[in-house]
Structure formats: C-alpha cells, structure tokens
Amino acid sequence: MLNQHGKDFVKILESIRYSKSKYEVFSDWLIMTAATLYSWKKDKNVEEEYLHIANQYTKEELDKHAQLLAITVEALEKEEQDFLGEVFTFAELTNSRNGQFFTPYHISRMSAEMTIGDTFPEGRIVWVNDPTCGSGGMLVAAASVMKEKEFNYQQNALFIAQDIDARCARMAFIQLSLIGAPAIIYCMNTLTMQEYWHRETIGYYIADMDFRLKWENTIRKLKEIEAGVQKPATEESKPVEIKMPSREAVQGELF
C-alpha cells in the first residue's frame, strides 16, 4: 500500500489536467522533473524538451507539478525507498500487459544486503551496475546498504543504470539525483546496446567522477605496464564492480 506521501502524490497527479490521462500527466512530470534536475549540465536539447511539455500546462498546473517534486523530495528525505516505483505500481501506471512489474523495495533491500559485502577497498571507486534498473529501486537499496555499512556512497560509489523504457530511466535518474548518488543513467536496449540518451546526476559532478575515473584508469594502465604490457590487469587493479541481481529474462519485462 502507498504511504501518505504516495497518496498525496497521486491525489495531486489526478487533479492536474483532466484533458490528459493520469498516465500522460505522470510521463510529462517525469520529463520536466528530470530536465530540471539536469539543468546543471546546460543541455539545450533537454531544455527544449522541458519547454515543449511545460507550454502545454497553465501556471496553476505547473505549480502542482512542482508540488509533486516537493512530495518526492520529502518522501526520500524521510527514508530511502523506491518512492516513484511504488507510485508507478499502485497508481496503476505500469504496462502490465507487456509484463511490466517492479520489485517491491523490501525485496530489493534484501538482495542488496546479500550482494554487498562488509568491506570496501580504500581509495577506490566502487561501481554498482543494474542493466534493467526500472525505477532505480535496486540501486537506491544498494546506496542505503552502503550507508548503513558506513561507506560514503556519495563520494566513493558510481551507480550505472540502464533501461529501455524512457519513463523508467527518468524515474531512476530522479531518485538517484535526489539521494545524492553519483550516477549515469542510460536509456538504452541492453541486448542490442543501442543507446538513446544518457544523463549524469548532479552527484556525479559533485564527486568529480570524470577526473577520478580517468585517474584510476591511468593508475591501472601504469600497473599493467609495470607488470608487463601484454599481461592482463590483475584483480587488484581492475575496477571494483558490484552487479546487482538480474531480475528479467527479456529486456523490457520489469519485475
């Protein structure tokens, strides 16, 4: 069942524009909110995307869209959770006919606890990858477990999320942005490797991930040269990667 934040979210969502379906309004909110949280990048294409949607609403309706963001912020500040995934499911916005279902957050949390160990390498970036991220619930759970284990995920982890559904990719982007996670979210087909777009969170920028990834790559190459150019990288020098459990057999079937 939805918590109070979720109920408030759905109530406002249903009151925004009666000429559009709840599904359409939510999709529009995802586009505008994701664009707002990506404004630090100064991407003209994203700005135009935002304006194209915003021009379809009145000022009063846009104020309600802003209220939805405020509710989402409050919900994630109160506790780490897959807030948008829960709303997406219980407000019946998923495409169940195509097998689109989301993992309940408590299951994601349990999976993260079983996957993530108790020790982390010092001075290294830990990669957390979910190739079928849905709303990002598994990655939010991973961040929560890292925090509980006193590992600073906002500085020392890189979250990689991929999904073929643009709505899912945007939900993951919004939630990972709001919890301060350094992340890159790809809207892509992970079977054919066709990419439609990708976006970095503000946490990625704050953690200076571009520089740190280049530095780690340089150190790794220097170690390889020292060990012998033709020798493969040692386990110690390879990127530290956590692959979250696969939850689907076919791209696009989310559960």
Q: Given a cut of 90, is residue 220 above it in pLDDT?
A: no
pLDDT of residue 250: 34
């791209």: which residue's tokens?
251
Mean pLDDT, all residues of the chain: 88
Question: Residue 92: which pLDDT band, with cuts at 50, 70 and 90?
Answer: confident
Question: What is the percentage of the chain residues whose pLDDT exceeds 70?
Answer: 88
Phi-psi region of 121 (alpha: psi -120 to 50; beta: other; left: phi over 0): beta
The tens digit of pLDDT for each residue in 57-84 reads 999 999 999 999 999 999 999 998 999 9
pLDDT of residue 254: 31
* Residue 109 CB neighbour total at 10 angstroms: 22
Q: Given a cut of 90, is residue 182 above it in pLDDT?
A: yes
Query: What does the domain layout of the chain look like in residue ranges?
Result: 4-207+238-243
Q: What are phi and psi of 7, to 5 degrees?
A: -65, -40
pLDDT of residue 4: 95
* Residue 150 CB neighbour total at 10 angstroms: 7
The tens digit of pLDDT for each residue in 111-165 reads 999 999 888 888 789 999 999 999 999 999 999 999 999 999 999 999 999 999 9
CA-based nearest residue to 163, from 222, 69, 233, 84: 84
pLDDT of residue 100: 62
Q: Please report the DSSP string for 22-59 in residue order.
A: HHHHHHHHHHHHHHHHTGGG--HHHHHHHHHHHTTS-H
CA-based nearest residue to 105, from 1, 246, 251, 34: 1
pTM passes above 0.85: yes
Specify whether the CB–CB gap between 163 and 187 falls below 8 A.
yes
Residue 110: both structure tokens together? 């349990």
Q: What is the mean pLDDT of residues 184-203?
A: 95
Q: What is the mean pLDDT of residues 166-186?
A: 97
Q: Given a cut of 70, is residue 252 above it in pLDDT?
A: no
